[in-house]
Every structure is written in C-alpha cells, then in structure tokens.
Structure 1
Amino acid sequence: MLDVRDRWPGSVLALTEVPPERIHRYGCAAVEPTGEEDVVRVTGLVEEPAPQNAPNRYALIGRHVLDPDVFIALERTPPGQGGENQPAAAPWEPAAGGTVHGVVFEDLRHDTGDRAGHLRTVSRQACQRPGLGPEFAT
C-alpha cells in the first residue's frame, strides 16, 4: 500500500471482493480502473449498502494509508452508525488532494467482525500453532 501511495498521491485503502450477500456488512468502494493490476481509483464510498444499492463488491477491510488532510475532514464528519467515527463517511476526495486509490487483496483474510468470523479465525490460528494444532484439531 505504501508503494501505491508513492506512485499515486492521496490516500490508499485496502479492498477485497466479497459475496453480494455480505456487502451490507462493510463500507463499499465505487471504483474505476487505473491500468495497474490490483490498483483502482476510488470514486466514492457507501457505508454498509444493501446489496442492490452497492456499486460493486469491493469492501473496505480496515487498512488505510491516509493523507494527513483526511483527519481534518474526519473532525468535521459526524459519527455514523452506532456512534462510531466511520472514515467512509468523511469527504475523502477533497480532503485527500482529489485522489483515493484502492489496493485489491485476494489473500486469505480473517474477518473478526461477528461471532462466527471470530471463532473461525481463532480456530484457524489454533490449528496452525505448533504444539497446539494437532491437539486442537482432534
């Protein structure tokens, strides 16, 4: 992500493609191609859209390299759902010098945002741990 930030000024977000029935659990990025594999220009963000309202299936996965001016915009942005500060609700484009890019990751990712995801993550980690994995897996 830092390499992308070096090539494209502004902010950089980590994205992954999720099934349509799960997009409502994430911030969703509207994107356009840049000509670079796995790098897109983010043209808009929608917080937890219904599947029929999502611009695509690119979900924000909680990793950002932010232009410092984004924090000024975040201070002016009211809290979103659940009273949380939600970066997707901030006016990113003007705050980030006009550009926000996304890096699309396809590797295994652990989502601990709900109980089932948390348990899957803990189980995977326990199975891979030397000295515990074989015992835990039985």
Structure 2
Amino acid sequence: MKVRKAVIPAAGLGTRFLPATKATAKEMLPIIDKPTIQYIVEEAIASGIEDILIVTGKGKRSIEDHFDTAPELEQNLLSKNKLEMLASVQESSNIKIHFIRQKQPLGLGDAILQAKAFVGNEPFVVLLGDDIVESEVPCVKQLINQYEHTQNSIIGVQTVPKEHTNRYGIINPQEEVTSHLFKVRGFVEKPKIEEAPSQLAILGRYLLTPAIFELLETQESGSGDEIQLTDAIDRLNKIEDVLAYDFAGKRYDVGDKFGFVDTTIRFALKHPEIKVQVQALINELAD
C-alpha cells in the first residue's frame, strides 16, 4: 500500500525555550526566515506525501495561521510588486494540511493516537519537529523506499555519542538485514548511559503500520509519566517485525538552545542574502 499520509506532532509546551514560547509556538521559531515546522512539512511533501495532519495543543493557533492564506498581506505585497516575497508567503498556504488538538499533554504516543481516524488502515509516517534533516534523498523518502521492499514499519536511526544515549530512544539491533537496515531485538526509551544497548538512536522519523494504534490505546505511561511512542513500538515489534534504517543525511537538533543556535548559524552560512555578512562576522569574532 502506498504511503500517502504524514503526522507531525506539534503539541509540546516548548519549555526549553521559555520565555520565548510562553505565547509563541516553539514550532514557529524561525531558522533565519522560515519557521522550523515548515522545514518538516517541506520534507514530507518532497517525499511524495499527499495529506498531512499536524497535532497541536493550546497556544498553537499560529501554526494554523501560518499554513492558511493571508489575503490582505498577499494583496499588499502584490501592489508593491514584491513578487519574490509574495511567492514565499503563498508557498506555505498551497499545502493540504489538516489539524487536530491533543487535549492534554500526555506524551508523544498519545499525540500520535489522535491521528487514528485520519490515518485509517494505511501505513503512515511521523516527523518530529525537533529534527531537521538535510539529505540528497529526503529522509522520509528513504524510509518509504525501504518500506516498499519490506512492508514493515521502519524507524529512522543514526549513531549518537555514547554520552548522549540517555536523551533518545535507543534500538537493540539484532542483525543487519541489508545495508544500513537492521532487524531489532527491542527499543528502549532514554536508557541510562551504562545500560544503552547500542548507540543507534531514533531521530524523529518513523514509518508505521496502523497496528500501532491498538497498542497506543492500551499503552501504560512510561518515561516522564507519559505515553511513549517508543514503548508501543517495542510491543509492536513482538507482533510484527519493526526494522531500523540508518538513514543518510545531516540531522540538526533544533529542540534545545545550543542545537537551535548551531542550526541557525549553519543555515545562515548558506543563505544567499546574508551568508557573506555572517561569514565576515564569524571571522571578526574569531580574531
């Protein structure tokens, strides 16, 4: 079955970016001139996804507004012949996106469960907003390519430093089925560093079969007293094989302050309008 649908959870409180996120959705914080969530949506579209559901929460109305039309703004830009700027504004509204609210912040697993009716009986992808991936083939497309050969759920992973394994869901690999594709013994959410079964971390990209929903409906609270998607995936792996794919590409973590600044600088150095000035500033600061 073709993978047509994507779910983007965007209901988190964004506490690591307070006070900026007190009245602004974390997902709307910009990398230069584009909100982080737009990078995620663009990856889904570039991967051939046709329908996107964004799971929001209280205080996230700005996300819906961003992907809506803005007639007054567009007319103003048109009247001033600011056509490039107009195109950039219209780009975010020419996308088929649906929204649903997670009523209570019960964790990532609960957020995904809100998508059950939207997904139906189809495989689907999940993209987390804390991870921007730059790659020649979009990360989600890489997972879809693997699914077309295996018909199994595929989890995107990459190797992280051992001292960072307690920040992620970590896989316990059983064997390498084909190049970069692993059969998995189990999945552990944020293990103690000394107990991590590997350094292969789940990095914000999932392709799941709809069987995950029955498990999420009965999933008990786990790490952080939340319903963890990783725990449900571990149970799914006991029913049907869940594979892990070590995807190609540079992953940027925009979920914490340093990662956000690091990403902003790196993207600024490639931005056609400001890259020369930013490089000059870096050279000046390095002297």
TM-score, normalised via structure 2 length: 0.45
Corresponding residue for 1:71? 213
Which consecutive residues of structure 2, in runs of 5 or more, have no partner in the other structure? 1-142, 282-287
Q: Whole-Å Cα distance in 1 between the matches of residues 179 and 263 of structure 2? A: 29
**Aligned equivalent of 1:4:** 146
Per-residue displacement from partner, 1:35-86 (whole Å, max 9, x unpaired)?
Answer: 3111001220111111210101000001000011112211211343345442
* Number of residue equivalences: 136
Q: Secondary structure at the match of 1:68?
A: coil
Taking the TM superposition and a 5 Å limit, the aligned residue runs for 1:7-26 are: 7-26=149-168
- Secondary structure of 1:35's match? strand
TM-score (norm 1): 0.89
Contact 2:169 2:202 in 1 (8 A): yes
* d(CA) in 1 for partners of 2:169, 2:148: 24
1:106 Cα offset (Å): 4.6
Q: Are the aligned partners of 2:177 and 2:183 in contact in 1 as well (CA < 8 Å)?
A: no
- Describe the SS at the equivalent of 1:55: coil
Whole-angstrom CA distance in 2 between matches of 1:89 and 1:83: 12
Query: Hey, what does 2:128 align to over in structure 1?
Result: none
Equivalent position of 2:236 in the other structure: 92
Structure 1 stretches (4+) deviating beyond 4 angstroms?
none
In structure 1, how many angstroms separate the alpha carbons of the residues matched to 2:267 and 2:224? Answer: 30
Contact 1:33 1:41 in 2 (8 A): yes
Aligned in 2, Cα 1:38/1:62: closer, same or farther, shift over 3 Å?
same
* RMSD (CA atoms): 1.6
What letter corresponds to residue 114 of structure 1 in structure 2?
D
Which position in structure 1 is the counterpart of 2:175?
33
How far apart are 1:4 and its partner, in Å? 1.3
User: Structure 1 residue aligned with 2:262, among 103, 109, 120?
Assistant: 120
State the secondary structure of the residue aligned to 2:178: coil
* Greater relative contact order, per chain length (Cα 8 Å cut-off, separation 6+): 1
Select 1:107's aligned residue among 237, 249, 260. Answer: 249
The AA in structure 1 aligned to 2:237 is E
Structure number with bigger Rg:
2
Contact 1:14–1:102 (Cα < 8 Å) also in 2: yes
Q: Secondary structure, in 3 states, of the residue corresponding to 1:109?
A: strand
Matches of 1:83 and 1:52 in 2, distance apart? 22
Q: 107-116 vs 83-92, which deviates more?
A: 83-92
